[in-house]
Amino acid sequence: MTAAVEISDVTKRFGDVVAVDNIDLTIADGEFFAMLGPSGCGKTTTLRMIAGLDFPTEGSLKIFGDEVGTLPPNKRPVNTVFQNYALFPHMSVLDNVSFGLRMQKVDKATAAARAKESIELVQLGGYEKRRPNQLSGGQQQRVALARALVNEPKVLLLDEPLGALDLKLRQEMQGELKSLQRDLGVSFVFVTHDQEEALTMSDRIAVMNEGKLLQVGSPEEIYERPANRFVADFIGQTNLIEGTVADETTIVLTNGARVAAPSDHAAGTAVALSLRPERATLTPAGAVEAADGRTSVDGVIAGVTYLGNALVYDVALDWMTIEVREENRPAGDRPSPGDRVAVSWTTSDASVVV
C-alpha cells in the first residue's frame, strides 16, 4: 500500500535558520498521526510543507506516491485546518464551507448541497446562515473542519486545532475528531504541543525538537521506551537518574550503585535511567529483598504533594531527589516527610536514555 505522506531527507531553511533538519517520515493511509514538540521545533513547518504553503529547501515529499515538491496547495489531495480557524468573517457558514467548491467551479446547487452535508457531518446543521462572529469558539472550530472536509481531502492537516478551546471543549473535540477520522478513513496529521492530547488521540506520534525528528512510534512506545532524554522528559513526567553504562545489562549510577538496566550502548557511555514517577514503588526502608528482581535505592521523604486522586512524594536520595507517584491512601497509612523509605522498580519499569 502506498503511504499517504512520504517525507525523505527533507530540510527547510529560512535564511540561516534551519527550521526542519533532514527528516524522514512516513504516514500511512488512514492513520491518525500526531506531530509533537515544543514551540519552534519544526512541526508546523513540516505540516506547512505537506500542505504546500512552504516548500522544502532539500529533499523529497510524496503524497500517495506523487512527488509534490513545489505543487501549489490546491493541486494536492490535502486540506488544512488552521489554528485560528481562518474563517472568512464576511461570509456565512455556508459560504465559508462551499468556498473551496466554488473556486473549483462546482455548480452552485451541488456546492451548496455538499457544503450542507459537510456541515451536518460536524453537527452544525441549522447554523448555515450564521456569520463566524455569531458562533462560539468550538462552533468556529467545527466550521473550519467542515470547510476542509468538504473538499474531500485524502489527508487532513490540523495545526493545533484545539489550542484555542477551553479544557472541557477540547476533550470533547478530541473524542469527536478521533471518531470522525475513523468514520472517514482518511489520514489526519495533527500538530500539537500538548503531549496528553497526542497520547490520547493518535495511532502514532512523531516527536520533534529543534528541527530534528527524535522518535516516531505508537503512544505506548514513545512513553514506555523513549529514544532519548528529551523525549522521556517531554512526554509525561519522568525522573532522569544519571549514570554510566557498565555492560549490556548494568549501569553504574552517580553514587556508585550498580543497577540492572539492559541497554545496547557501549560501556562507558553517559546515560540516564528514565523512571516514571508512577512506576516507582515506595516501601519502608529495608523491606525490599533483592531476590524479587527489583532494584532499590534508599532515601528520605522530603515532601508530599496532594493531588486528590494521587500523591506525589519527593524522595531525597543521597545525590538527587526523585518523584514517586502513588494512588491516594488514607492519611494514617502514608509515609510522611522525614521517613526513611526505599524506592524500587523492576528493569522493565525503567528505560535507559542518552
- Residue with Cβ nearer other proteins (90 or 340): 90
Full 3-state SS string of the chain: CCCCEEEEEEEEEECCEEEEEEEEEEECCCCEEEEECCCCCCHHHHHHHHHCCCCCCEEEEEECCEECCCCCHHHCCEEEECCCCCCCCCCCHHHHHHHHHHHCCCCHHHHHHHHHHHHHHCCCCCCCCCCHHHCCHHHHHHHHHHHHHCCCCCEEEEECCCCCCCHHHHHHHHHHHHHHHHHHCCEEEEEECCHHHHHHHCCEEEEEECCEEEEEECHHHHHHCCCCHHHHHHCCCCEEEEEEEEECCEEEECCCCEEECCCCCCCCCEEEEEECHHHCEEEECCCCCHHHCCEEEEEEEEEEEECCCEEEEEEECCCCEEEEEEECCCHHHCCCCCCEEEEEECHHHEEEEC
- Which amino acid makes up residue 301? I
Q: Which 136-165 residues touch other proteins, going by CB under 8 A?
A: 147, 151
Among 2, 38, 60, 74, binds other proteins (CB under 8 A): 74
Phi, psi of 143 (to 5 degrees): -60, -45
- Residue with Cβ nearer other proteins (131 or 325): 131
Nearest approach, Cβ of 50 to other proteins (angstroms)?
A: 12
Piece of 35-43, 74-82, 255-263, 319-327 that binds other proteins (CB under 8 A):
74-82
Instruction: Please report where in the chains the cell 529543534 appears, as a residue.
Output: 210
Interface mask toward other proteins for 82-121; x: CB under 8 A = xxx-x-xxxx-------xx--xx-----------------
Q: Sheet of 350-353: strands edge to edge? A: 258-260, 250-253, 239-247, 270-275, 350-353
Among 46, 80, 141, 263, binds other proteins (CB under 8 A): 80
Q: Which 161-190 residues touch other proteins, going by CB under 8 A?
A: none
Instruction: Count residues near other proteins (CB under 8 A).
Output: 22
Nearest approach, Cβ of 99 to other proteins (angstroms)?
A: 5
Interface mask toward other proteins for 292-331; x: CB under 8 A = ----------------------------------------
**Does 71 interact with other proteins (rule: CB under 8 A)?**
no
93 closest CA partner among 55, 37, 150, 18: 150
Nearest approach, Cβ of 104 to other proteins (angstroms)?
A: 6
Q: Which three cell numbers stand for residue 229?
A: 532524554
Nearest approach, Cβ of 28 to other proteins (angstroms)?
A: 23
- Residue with Cβ nearer other proteins (148 or 214): 148
Nearest approach, Cβ of 116 to other proteins (angstroms)?
A: 17
Among 42, 52, 56, 211, binds other proteins (CB under 8 A): 52
Among 5, 51, 143, 297, binds other proteins (CB under 8 A): 51
- Residue with Cβ nearer other proteins (98 or 174): 98
Nearest approach, Cβ of 188 to other proteins (angstroms)?
A: 16
Among 72, 137, 284, 337, binds other proteins (CB under 8 A): 72
Among 79, 181, 187, 295, binds other proteins (CB under 8 A): 79
**Using CB under 8 A as the criterion, which residues of the chain lie in contact with other proteins when the complex forms?**
51-53, 72-74, 79-80, 82-84, 86, 88-91, 99-100, 103-104, 147, 151
